[in-house]
Amino acid sequence: MKKWIPALLSILTLGIGHTAFAAPQELNSVVAIVNTGVILQTDVDNAMKTVKANAGKKGLPDAKVLHEQVLEKLILDEIQLQEAKKMGIQIDDDRLEQAIKGIASGHKQTVDQLKASVESEGLTYPIFREQIRKEIAISEARNAQVRRRVNISPSEVDTLSALLADQTTSTVEYKIAQLQLRFGDDKTATEKQAKELVERLKQGEDFSTLAYTYSKGPKALEGGDWGWMRKEEMPTIFADQITTQGKDAIIGPFRSGVGFHIMKIEDVKGLKTVAVTETSAQHILIKPSIILSDQGAEQELNGFIDQIESGKRTFGELAKQYSQDPGTAVNDGKLGYQTSDNYAPEFKHQVDTLPIGEISQPFKTSFGWHIVKVLDRRTVDRTESAMKNRAYEILFKRKFNEEAGAWLQEIRASAYVEMLDNDQGTNDAK
């Protein structure tokens, strides 16, 4: 039997509450009461069959142990489903269908092929769909509750990010240059001068020229050039400043016991960098209403294009007067430099494909009708932020799994669970 459900949410058993995958049959007995819900014998039987079928030739414990594990899983699922209902979590049909498409895609099938495969295994497709719906609701409830318990401090992210960066850059070679200003009588003035030099470098002035002119360091007469070296070969004060910066990065000013230092990474060998394109754009948004139809909004924007192209009005003037995006209208409709992934799909397409300086034709998103103009594009090194994101994800997954286990123990301990022994007519409340 193929593992249909585990492909979505690692479901090892296919019964929650009083749901069964087998053909309808008499619900002969209640084996457990869980708060206001029940676990039926048919739930346990079908879950046992499913676990055995999914296991295939893998070894399983004896029937008694397996029965206990399956029943405990069903109890935990029922408790979590009740939590989902308390939170008002509902999975609509559109979202359910997307999840099922994901299962089918994972098995390289169409939804119709998946349905046929499910039914060929003796499962009913309607019950299969409802089981997926319940599992998604359970997952949402668990995620919502556990996320609140996960706390990650900036210092934790920085520490792990630094460790990851050290691992990443351990074999990297850097061609570095340094400009050193020694402390004079006025240390504040030295710091001010160092900051001014950094600004001049960022504006494009030549590093070696400034080093010849101002540096008091050991390589001043070489234009500050220290050549190629790995971090382990650098002076500690240099190595401590390098994390995941790439070629042409300006680092500093940073302070030592003798003065202020400015470094430039002239080139890098062996460093995997993350570069992204940021686009500067401006737009005008018109929202359809009871008074203004989609066609009317589109026509209004076409009128704006005519005014801009004829020189009667500027894009910024029209955005400030007419755009219904209050966050950008006050700034001539300018969105600033952003990656296009931050935008709605239709808007992203325009931002990615428009030549610089051109205005789009009117187009619609979920927010309304737009025209957009691309002002500029630039490539930005995001290696360091990507490393921090990776560190955060590692910490989050680690803490989430720890807290999820603790949360499950807590809700299990606080739930009313009564085991019913139908053969002997006894019960055991836990």
What CATH architecture applies to the domain 275-381? Roll (3.10)
Asked whether the beta carbons of 1 and 53 are under 8 A apart, the reply is yes
Model pLDDT, residue 405:
87
Largest CA distance in the chain: 96
Q: Cα separation of 313 and 322, whole Å?
A: 12
Please identify which residue in the block is written with the tokens 């610089």. Answer: 356
List the end-to-end C-alpha distance of the chain, in Å, as a whole number. 35
Q: Where are the domains of the chain?
A: 6-148, 153-170+382-417, 172-269, 275-381
**Cα 367 to chain centroid, rounded:** 23
For residue 359, count other CB atoms closer than 10 A to its CB. 20
Superfamily of domain 6-148: Porin chaperone SurA, peptide-binding domain (1.10.4030.10)
Model pLDDT, residue 54:
62
Is pTM beyond 0.75? Reply is no
Alpha helices by DSSP H, 58-110: 63-86, 93-106
Structure tokens at 227: 């050549």
Structure tokens at 196: 């001014």
Q: Concatenated DSSP letters for 187-222?
A: HHHHHHHHHHHHHHHHTT--HHHHHHHH--STTGGG
Q: In terms of C-beta density within 10 A (0-12 exposed, 13-18 middle, 19 or more buried), how is residue 419 classed?
A: middle
Q: Give the CATH class of 172-269.
A: alpha beta
Measured in degrees and rounded to the nearest 5, phi and psi for residue 411 equal -70, -30
Asked whether the beta carbons of 70 and 50 are under 8 A apart, the reply is no
6-148 and 275-381 in the same fold: no
Coil/strand/helix, residue 124: coil
Model pLDDT, residue 25:
45
> Among candidates 177, 182, 209, which has minimal Cα distance to 194?
182
Q: Cα separation of 138 and 411, whole Å?
A: 13
Q: Cα separation of 34 and 83, whole Å?
A: 12
Asked whether the beta carbons of 75 and 39 are under 8 A apart, the reply is yes
Asked whether the beta carbons of 87 and 146 are under 8 A apart, the reply is no
Q: Cα separation of 19 and 44, whole Å?
A: 10
Q: Cα separation of 155 and 140, whole Å?
A: 29
> Among candidates 3, 42, 39, which has minimal Cα distance to 23?
42
* pLDDT tens over the chain, length 430 residues: 444 444 444 433 333 344 434 444 444 689 889 998 898 888 888 777 767 766 666 677 778 888 888 899 899 999 999 999 988 988 888 889 888 898 888 878 888 888 887 777 666 788 778 878 888 998 899 998 998 899 999 999 888 888 877 776 667 889 999 999 988 888 899 999 999 999 999 998 999 999 999 998 888 888 999 999 888 888 888 888 887 788 889 999 999 888 999 999 999 887 777 778 899 999 999 999 999 999 999 999 999 999 999 999 999 999 999 999 999 999 999 999 998 988 988 999 999 999 999 999 999 998 999 999 999 998 887 777 878 888 898 899 888 988 988 999 999 999 998 988 655 444 555 5
Model pLDDT, residue 423:
53
